[in-house]
Amino acid sequence: MEKVFLEKLVSIRRKIHSYPELGEKEFRTSSLVQKILKDNGVKARKIAGTGVVGLIKGKKPGRRKVIAIRADMDALPIEEKTGKPYASKRAGVMHACGHDANTTMALGAAMLLSKRRNEFSGSVKFIFQPNEESSGGARSLIKAGVMKNPKVDAIVGMHVNPWQKLGTLGLKYKEMMAAVDRFTVEIVGEGGHGAYPHLGRDAVVVSSHVILALQSLVSREVDPLEPVVVTIGVVKGGERFNILCDRVTLEGTVRTLGKTLAASMKAKIEKKVALVARAFGAGYKLKYERLGEALVNSSSVLNLSRRAAEKVLGKPNIVAVDRASMGGEDFAEYLKHAPGCFLYIGTSGKYPWHHEKFDINERALPAGAKVLSEIAVQFLK
């Protein structure tokens, strides 16, 4: 029985992995998810484009609470170099973050729960989310009403973790992942001949000073014990080697855990940019976006998840995640509407998330599915 379940999940995961799809283009994946749910007697429908929501109603009398299990489905614009027989068949697109596995584990939980309806009252809602990597998928589903009809009382998400031992469950209390902001700065100078820089205002030079000044925000203007990251990921400017550049665009991200600091970062960045630009006689334009809040786990749902996981995996396989990640996760959006928690399942990988050779040990799939199903049953008992 165990072998059959593993083989089913491996087959599903490889089908998804071989045909990865970018955010909001998960047409093949969402159709496969919907088919598997329906084949297992789970009511399912599409929502907000490529999203899928499924529902399993328990048969046991009692309070009709609802717990949601969420999985993300989108891939990344990366050329896969694993060399595996099930590697991506789509050039330049790859499941390099494990969303294929996350989706498979949620589907596995649905398979198990469809046979356990007599053990719980209430309902289990399955949320298969598009576009997590761009931080827009959760908001689109919530706007479409995924947390209502029936109203979700608690929500759980699970993600594969290559750094954890195979089959272990990672738990993090309080802050787990960072808030994600994106900013764009356009430095406006004045063009001219590269041989006569004194007759213009070189936006390249100004932008280089802006980049260095922004790094001092972290090192000199924020409490050293307060986690924060400011990263410039894109620099665009210039047309030719001998033409003075009049405009440079910088794009970057800010990551924070504390709400007070998060609220202050836009003003801190604009102050730095304005002072540097003024010093060089240049202008600037700033666009600042809040893409997602910090992910803060609910202790009550996390405690219930721990007890369920201990029952499935045994206490030695429950591990504490000591540090929060400065990576982002739009699962945090759901936590504005219901208490919940985000969990890691260990896959003992060699490469990090978003790497061209990222892969998982597929023996983790049944463990993740069983933990998710047990959490749902324990919550609804």
Query: Would you report the helix, strand and coil content of the chain in percent, each value rounded to 5?
Result: 35, 25, 35
Choice among 17-26, 57-66, 170-179, 352-361 with the minimum mean pLDDT = 57-66
Which residue from 290, 267, 303, 340 is spatially nearest to 178, judged by alpha carbons? 290
287: pLDDT strictly greater than 80: yes
285: pLDDT strictly greater than 80: yes
pLDDT-derived band at 135 (thresholds 50, 70, 90) equals: confident
Residue 374 confidence (pLDDT): 98
Q: Let me know if domain 179-292 sits in CATH 3.30.70.360.
A: yes
Q: How far apart are CA 307 and CA 315, in angstroms?
A: 9
Letter for the amino acid at 76? L
Q: Angle of helix 203-220 relative to helix 259-279, nearest 10 degrees?
A: 150
Residue 62 confidence (pLDDT): 87
pLDDT digits (tens, 9 = 90+) for 22-59: 999 999 999 999 999 999 999 999 999 999 999 999 99
State yes or no: cis peptide before 150, omega within 30 of 0.
Answer: yes
Output the pTM of the full model: 0.94
CA distances to 258, 328, 348, 349 from 320, rounded to whole Å, are: 21, 19, 16, 18
Residue 79 confidence (pLDDT): 98
Helix or strand holding residue 32 (H, E):
helix 27-39
Pinpoint the alpha helices (H) of 221-363. 259-279, 299-313
Q: How far apart are CA 53 and CA 30, in angstroms?
A: 10
Q: How far apart are CA 57 and CA 113, in angstroms?
A: 9
The DSSP string of 205-229 is HHHHHHHHHHHHHHHHSS-TTS-EE
Q: How far apart are CA 130 and CA 49, in angstroms?
A: 9
Residue 178 confidence (pLDDT): 98
Mean pLDDT along residues 323-351: 97
CATH fold match for the domains 2-177+294-380 and 179-292: no
Do residues 334 and 138 make contact, with C-beta atoms less than 8 angstroms apart? yes
Q: Token pair 């047990």 is at which residue?
A: 374
292: pLDDT strictly greater than 90: yes
Residue 375 confidence (pLDDT): 98
- Output the six-digit token pair for 18: 């071989």
Q: How many CB atoms lie within 10 A of CB 321?
A: 19
Buried b / exposed e over 267-295, threshold 16 CB at 10 Å, is ebbeebbeebbeebebbbeeeeeebbbbb
76: pLDDT strictly greater than 80: yes
Looking at every residue in the chain, the average pLDDT score rounds to 97
1: pLDDT strictly greater than 80: no
pLDDT digits (tens, 9 = 90+) for 205-259: 999 999 999 999 999 999 999 999 999 999 999 999 999 999 999 999 999 999 9
pLDDT-derived band at 335 (thresholds 50, 70, 90) equals: very high
- Output the six-digit token pair for 249: 């665009």
70: pLDDT strictly greater than 90: yes
Q: How far apart are CA 161 and CA 348, in angstroms?
A: 8
Which residue from 248, 243, 159 is spatially nearest to 209, judged by alpha carbons? 248
Residue 93 confidence (pLDDT): 98
Do residues 61 and 6 make contact, with C-beta atoms less than 8 angstroms apart? no
pLDDT-derived band at 328 (thresholds 50, 70, 90) equals: very high
pLDDT-derived band at 306 (thresholds 50, 70, 90) equals: very high
What percent of the chain is modeled with pLDDT above 90? 98
Domain ranges across the chain: 2-177+294-380, 179-292
Q: Let me know if domain 2-177+294-380 sits in CATH 1.10.10.10.
A: no
Do residues 217 and 268 make contact, with C-beta atoms less than 8 angstroms apart? yes
